[in-house]
Structure 1
């Protein structure tokens, strides 16, 4: 026997325009973002920099999501996502500070140090589960 949920159409996610973050960066972002190297830094091996990879992947995903929205979506994407992301990545002391796009030099910045915190200061949040209403009701008796 089918239920109303069985008969409901599945909501399909919109198709991606770009296959991945690399395609997005090479085919859309870099051709659209044409700035001089004066004070800005870039690395042709951007995907080797963990921060750049994470930020540009997030930028691509935001692009894919917002391109299906209203007419202002892309303007908002540039203002709220692309401009701050690229400004952060390309600033003189940013992610690519040790790289030189003009000469093709590539070097990773050193990872900042971190000491171990006191035991018990951080817990595994994945292990904390909210108690359900059914469990709370049973505990009241």
Structure 2
């Protein structure tokens, strides 16, 4: 005996309806479709893939310094790495930032360290030889910028005084660059290089009013 046919067998399903509607609609041209002047976000055309492949590669990021400032380098690397017995041959000041010479020398060491640490196997070795080994004996030496200080006490270093040169001293005075320049043995005159150097010297300072003591005071 044959099985009775279900009354729902011939009824189209929802999937059949969607497929038939999709078959009747024209296929969209995904390469030319646009919305408000902008390309539709459809990926898969050969043109878009070529454009992606031809796009220039982004340049690698510039290396960033390990330490954001000279103070961070001094406290986070220098004093931890290079330790000496203080008080005799070597001097240090906890307020090293009060010494302009120390700031200059330590900053030079930091800049060179940041650059040379990126130079591979020999970078830090060259930094020790060419930079630290020269700077350290001067920086921490008994006659260096910390010569009056101890680790716990800062003393302001003596600053040499200067006096302004008299008007015309650097242009035509007895000790001008031309008067003391190397002589050209052929002409017996200052060399052209010395004359060019003297021509580039800054103008003499403006004259200052000085009060001369009377003969009675002398």
Q: Same fold (TM over 0.5)?
A: yes
Contact preservation (8 Å) 1:42, 1:90: yes
Matched, 1:123 2:202: yes
**Cα deviation code 1:30-62 (max 9, x no counterpart):** 111011113211000001100001111111011
**Greater fraction of residues in helix:** 1
1:109 aligns with: 157
Q: CA RMSD in A?
A: 2.2
How far apart, in 2, do the equivalents of 1:55 and 1:12 lie? 29
Which residue does 1:14 correspond to in 2? 63
Distance 1:115 1:41 in 2: 31
Aligned residues: 116
Q: Which of the numbers 99, 108, 113 marks the counterpart of 1:58? A: 108
Cα pair distance change 1:70/1:40, threshold 3 Å: same
In structure 2, C-alpha distance between the alignment counterparts of 1:13 and 1:123, rounded to whole Å: 39
**1:25 aligns to what?**
74
Structure 2: give runs of 5+ residues left out of the alignment.
1-55, 177-200, 204-218
Give the match's secondary structure for 1:82: helix
State yes or no: 1:35 paired with 2:84.
yes
What is the TM-score when the length of structure 2 is the normalising length? 0.48
Deviations 1:88-117 (A, max 9, x none): 11111110011011xx11012111233334
* SS of aligned partner of 1:72: helix
Compared CA separation, residues 8 and 114, structure 1 to 2 (3 A): farther
* TM-score (norm. length: structure 1): 0.73
Ranges in structure 1 where 5+ consecutive residues have no aligned partner: 1-6, 125-141
